[in-house]
């Protein structure tokens, strides 16, 4: 359920002056009650009046008018068009998990190793998201590939993550660019640096490509990219150039650095290398797209990072007009006032 975080403000505050009429209505009601009391003194047998009213009648007769007064106050507030900052369900309809499957992910500085820890944490993250959010998975090493197109099926996403195979090279930029191409399949994003194939010229039936008009970084609310890697690029396009592509489209790229800053030496198919976490690159990517960088030095840290991302993306704070809530409250109070009046006194009065 939405929850209010800040006091209510109003788009048409001048209408709130109408609330000053409420004290006048209270005075008018008290005057009518006093006048009715004087009239009742002319009745010969007051005992008959009391018996007709019954026990509790003295306070019951004031309840419907009080509810009607509150209803009027609620409707006046509704007319002023109240707004409040509330937490609403996630607007981001698609999230791309761009995950590093390069050889450096076999390092065991995160137990049992970086890749397995990343897989388990990603699967835990998936459970945190609302069911209406589509998920896609992009894996990258020397090249990048879409291993799961955007889908609502959590089972398909988990199966895609479980199929990861380690490869040589780390093309972080390729992972970002392919994630953008997945989010904007009709944008004509050039993937020639990623696939190694030359871009095909547009056919006779294709729409001409329009130049991209950059938007404010982080302003696109319908999608996001979560990039998980150790941050050591060895090939492919520059990750900062890819981050600029995302920023120009308003897409946030949240980066998660896995591994330790000290790193370790690993061997793979007869070669060895020292793998360290490159935080500077990941922070730069996140900053360029108005997103956040998260450090995950252990498997437990990684799970906490993904859990935090899940809760952060499950809701968002937004100023929203809540006129309908006040109008509904006013209508409910009117119906309650009329219902009690009919129940207790057999008439609407």
- Is 98 within 8 Å of 176 (Cβ atoms)? yes
pLDDT of 298 over the 80 cut: no
Structure tokens at 270: 């007869």
pLDDT of 308 over the 60 cut: yes
Q: Tell me which residue has tokens 């793979």.
A: 268
The mean pLDDT of the chain is 78
What is the tens place of the pLDDT at every residue in 148-188? Answer: 999 999 999 999 999 998 888 889 999 999 999 999 988 88
CATH class for the region spanning 90-188+214-297: alpha beta
pLDDT of 9 over the 60 cut: yes
Quote the pLDDT of residue 3.
43
What is the tens place of the pLDDT at every residue in 16-49? Answer: 888 888 888 888 877 777 776 666 555 545 554 5
What residue segments make up the domains of the chain, in order of their start? 9-86+320-345, 90-188+214-297
Residue 267's closest CA among 168, 154, 191, 184?
A: 168
Quote the pLDDT of residue 244.
95
pLDDT of 59 over the 50 cut: yes
What number of other Cβ atoms are within 10 A of residue 111's Cβ? 11
Q: Tell me which residue has tokens 């809530």.
A: 325
pTM of the model: 0.63
Mean per-residue pLDDT, 290-316: 71
Quote the pLDDT of residue 175.
94
- Is 294 within 8 Å of 309 (Cβ atoms)? yes
- Percentage of the chain lying above the pLDDT 70 cut: 72
């Amino acid at each position: 359920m939405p929850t209010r975080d800040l006091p209510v403000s109003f788009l048409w505050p001048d209408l709130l002056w109408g609330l000053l009429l409420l004290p006048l209505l209270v005075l008018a009601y008290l005057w009518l009650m006093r006048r009715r009391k004087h009239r009742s003194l002319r009745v010969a047998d007051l005992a008959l009046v009391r018996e007709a009213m019954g026990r509790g009648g003295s306070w019951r007769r004031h309840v419907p008018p009080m509810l009607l007064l509150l209803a009027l106050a609620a409707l006046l507030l509704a007319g002023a068009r109240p707004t409040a900052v509330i937490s609403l369900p996630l607007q981001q309809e698609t999230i791309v998990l761009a995950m590093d499957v390069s050889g450096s992910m076999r390092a065991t500085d995160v137990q049992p190793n970086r890749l397995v820890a990343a897989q388990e944490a990603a699967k835990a993250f998936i459970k945190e998201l609302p069911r209406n959010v589509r998920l896609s998975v992009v894996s990258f090493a020397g090249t990048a590939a879409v291993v799961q197109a955007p889908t609502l099926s959590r089972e398909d996403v988990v199966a895609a993550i479980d199929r990861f195979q380690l490869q040589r090279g780390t093309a972080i930029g390729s992972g970002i660019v392919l994630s953008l191409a997945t989010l904007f399949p009709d944008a004509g994003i050039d993937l020639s640096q990623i696939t190694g194939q030359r871009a095909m010229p547009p056919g006779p039936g294709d729409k001409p490509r329009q130049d991209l008009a950059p938007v404010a970084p982080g302003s696109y609310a319908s999608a996001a990219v979560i990039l998980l890697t150790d941050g050591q690029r060895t090939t492919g396009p520059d990750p900062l150039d890819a981050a600029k592509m995302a920023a120009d489209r308003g897409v946030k790229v949240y980066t998660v650095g896995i591994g330790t800053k000290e790193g370790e030496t690993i061997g793979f198919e007869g070669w060895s290398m020292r793998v360290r976490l490159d935080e500077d690159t990941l922070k730069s990517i996140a900053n360029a797209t108005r997103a956040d960088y998260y450090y995950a030095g252990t498997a437990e840290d990684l799970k906490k990072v993904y859990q935090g991302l899940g809760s952060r993306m499950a809701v968002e704070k937004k100023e929203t007009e809540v006129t309908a809530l006040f109008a509904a409250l006013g209508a409910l109070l009117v119906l309650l006032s009329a219902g009690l009046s009919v129940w207790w006194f057999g008439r609407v009065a």
